[in-house]
């Protein structure tokens, strides 16, 4: 087993999921159900890890005005609350789940404005992460943080000897990937659209995705995992490129499936699994999450059964 598990969420959110039989744009829609869950990528990862039986420390920036739902989640799941409290209210993300299409429309609101002082305080809090620990840096950056915030924290954590997994997008991801080789994350998990943003071009075919992931890995990142929705996920580590897939799943909610995949990768690192078993477990976490609303997983035996059903295909090197 590897060291302690840590997640870092700079821009958490209250996820308000509204379930609809069908989303009709420009019309009045009658909701079938609605729920509110404490979320944000890193917090979702910590929550899924707890359901797997692993305790994580949740770091990040949390608005004081509506911290209660997050504090309740941390207490319920025995997540170590190391979130810094900042002025204002944590943002709300509205998620419209369309049952007829099996997809979700996201409306993400901005978070409270923060700045260099809050980033410095967060960096100081992360100084306690030890060599061999696992650190997941996840999600977007709130208003006021510089685009290189993840890049700076990644440099710090790598100096401290942590194993770093980054799941972000846009300028924040690009800045971290521009770090010098010793300061690069050990693992990144873009989806296809985020990988296209980084590459500056469309990646319409699986071969295009594989070639781009391989180019990214060659920058000095140990593992690149690309989540591909219903197609599964692709992993490349410089030795092989694998595509993992499961039979089509009927989702109750697609919200947080990518975060569950990240939690599966973090758990696999903690369990010292090899590349193939890590990918199987990650895809199983994501598929299992489809059957839950909110940052929750079904019992471990259900996930283990899904992992056993994951098929792996080795792709030719580009």
Give catalytic residues, as residue numbers.
259
Q: Residue 317 in 3-state DSSP?
A: coil
Q: Residue 273 in 3-state DSSP?
A: coil
Regarding beta strands 241-245 and 311-315, do their DSSP bridges make them parallel or antiparallel, or are they unpaired?
antiparallel
Which residue has 């006021």 as its token pair? Answer: 144
Strand partners, 81: 58
Residues 6+ apart with CB under 8 A from 223: 186, 187, 188, 217, 235, 236, 237, 275, 278
In angstroms, the CA 238 to CA 33 distance is 45
Among 223, 242, 238, residue whose Cα is nearest residue 283? 242
Phi, psi of 271 (to 5 degrees): -85, 0
Phi, psi of 81 (to 5 degrees): -80, 105
Residues 6+ apart with CB under 8 A from 124: none
Q: Residue 164 in 3-state DSSP?
A: strand
Phi, psi of 166 (to 5 degrees): -115, 130
DSSP 70: H
60 burial via Cβ count (<10 Å: 0-12, 13-18, 19+): buried
DSSP 191: B
Q: Residue 193 in 3-state DSSP?
A: helix
């Amino acid at each position: 087993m590897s060291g302690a598990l840590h997640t870092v969420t700079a821009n958490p959110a209250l996820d308000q999921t509204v379930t609809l039989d069908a989303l009709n744009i420009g019309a009045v829609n009658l909701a079938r159900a609605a729920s509110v869950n404490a979320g944000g990528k890193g917090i979702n990862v910590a929550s899924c890890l707890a359901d797997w039986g692993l305790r994580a420390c949740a770091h990040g920036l949390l608005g004081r005005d509506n911290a209660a739902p997050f504090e309740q989640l941390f207490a319920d799941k025995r997540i170590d609350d190391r979130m810094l409290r900042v002025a204002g209210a944590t943002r709300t993300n509205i998620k419209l789940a369309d049952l007829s299409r099996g997809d979700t429309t996201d409306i993400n609101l901005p978070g409270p404005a923060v700045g260099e002082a809050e980033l410095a305080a967060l960096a100081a809090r992360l100084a306690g992460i030890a060599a061999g620990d696992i650190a997941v840096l996840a999600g977007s950056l709130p208003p006021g943080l510089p685009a290189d915030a993840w890049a700076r924290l990644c440099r710090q954590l790598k100096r401290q000897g942590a194993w770093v997994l980054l799941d972000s997008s846009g300028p924040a991801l690009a800045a971290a990937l521009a770090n010098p080789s010793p300061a690069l994350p050990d693992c990144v998990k873009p989806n296809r659209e985020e990988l296209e943003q980084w590459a500056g071009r469309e990646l319409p075919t699986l071969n295009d995705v594989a070639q781009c992931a391989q180019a990214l890995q060659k920058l000095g990142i140990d593992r690149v995992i690309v989540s591909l929705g219903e197609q599964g996920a692709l992993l490349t580590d410089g030795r092989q490129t694998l595509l993992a897939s499961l039979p089509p799943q009927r989702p109750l909610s697609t919200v947080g499936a990518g975060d569950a995949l990240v939690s599966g990768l973090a758990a696999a690192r903690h369990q010292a699994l090899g590349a193939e078993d890590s990918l199987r477990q990650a895809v199983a976490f994501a598929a299992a999450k489809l059957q839950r609303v909110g940052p929750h997983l079904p019992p471990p035996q259900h996930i283990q059964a899904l992992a056993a059903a994951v098929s792996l295909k080795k792709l030719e090197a580009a």
